[in-house]
Amino acid sequence: MSPFYVETRIELAPDQLALAASLAESGLHDDYVVYEGPDGWSYAGGTLAELTLDRTGARLTYQGEQFLPWDGKPLQQIQTLLDSVSIEGWRAYGWAAFELSYAKDGVLDHIGEERLLHLVVPRTEIRFGDGTALVRSADSAGLTAALELLRTPLRPAAGKLAHIDVRGFDKTDYRSSVESAVAEIHDNKLQKVILSRVVDVEGDIDLVETYVQGRRGNTPARSFLLNLGGVEAAGFSPETVVEVEAGGRVYSQPLAGTRALTKDPQRNRELRENLLSDPKEIYEHAISVKVGTDELTDVSEAGSVEVPEFMAVKERGSVQHLASRVAGQLAEGFRTWDAFGAVFPAVTASGVPKAAAYDVIRQYEPEARGLYSGAVLITDQSGEMDAALVLRSVYRQGGRTWLRAGAGIVGQSTAAREFEETSEKLESVSRFLVAADSGAGAAVIRLAG
């Protein structure tokens, strides 16, 4: 008999965010993913099945182990391995690193030993709804433990927010990189590239409480909190990389073009009008939408690709963006991971054309991106997928904590403005960092440039 979940539905308090955070910090599971999708929050804890990808190949651990050596078609291998999971109604949660973009077409020249993708089908899963939660677990003991936690009074908010000036770090190197990239654009090597800068955080932070405070202070398209395979992050994603419906309808959501979002409504209106009329921002956005439509066309039925929303303005925490939505219908023979591969990485976090942008990113950025500008995603047995673009996030791995943000560089870019744009984006997270220990003197967090 195939493994199956035991499950029940219960009524609960309406604060899904606080409930999901309580589950994450409970210690019930070492590995977990909290994901806020279009229908609310989900919590995935523990591992019933696990799928990983690196330069050696794809590995599924479930009722034994299946290993597919690298054959140059890693996304097809992921699809094949997931198809073999016989858990009824499974849903997988996890992440894909930006560097998967270098390898998804088979080339390993720019890939090291790092993990490129990590997915788990959880032992315990909780899907929050309107005043209720569907609680599922691989065994009755796991179900009981989850139910007890959900019925425990919510923990009070803890910790103090750190007030950090993100403009005081890394200015010279980033400005120089922007100027070099603009020169390459003027030499017709590419049209656009997103260059990012890294800001290390000295001192421990409470990642769960940072997520709670940051989510309450942001207006993301998606949000997530995870500790999976040694990778930790909390993020407030401004856009999706791809959304796939069970019937094969596919969407992507390019955001490009940015202005600050302040506490002054009049100033915000002025900035919005400037954003909507700035030739540089409009050009940057338009070429991103063009790439998005071309990419979906490659896997969609002829004539099905459309742009149902064009150049709207979306407010995302400390910034406002030009936003569009591209849609298509998967053509016969194409499936979920084909759609993911067609658009990954998001053009708004890489560049135009992508291959040339990759070269510039590797040349001018200080280190590999990893989770930054990759994806945190959920996908399920029906073929649905919801993949959030990993931006506006705080990262922790191997004892190091850091922030990262980028800006879209085109021929009209200036180093001063692009540096300011990265600062505006960093503030979506930096304003909400919470010290791990709220005791005396613990709320001071310094950034190292």
Catalytic residues: 239
Q: Tokens 């073929």 identify what position?
A: 383
196 to 64, 122, 173, 244, 365: CA distances (angstroms): 41, 33, 11, 28, 7
What size, in residues, is the chain? 449
256 to 253, 288, 351, 421: CA distances (angstroms): 10, 7, 11, 12
Q: How far is Cα 45 from Cα 38, in angstroms, rounded to an integer?
A: 20
Task: Look up residue 372 and give its two tokens.
Answer: 């930054």
The neighbour count for residue 22, using CB atoms within 10 Å, is 20
Q: How far is Cα 302 from Cα 300, in angstroms, rounded to an integer?
A: 6
CB 137 within 8 A of CB 124: yes
Q: Which residues pair with 321 in a beta bridge?
A: 258, 314
The amino acid that residue 286 corresponds to is: A
The amino acid that residue 188 corresponds to is: N
Q: Exposed, middle or buried: residue 295 (CB in 10 Å: 0-12, 13-18, 19+)? A: buried
Phi, psi dihedrals of residue 137, rounded to the nearest 5°: -150, 160
Could you tell me which residues come within 8 angstroms of residue 285 by beta carbon, excluding any fewer than 6 positions away?
A: 254, 256, 257, 311, 322, 324
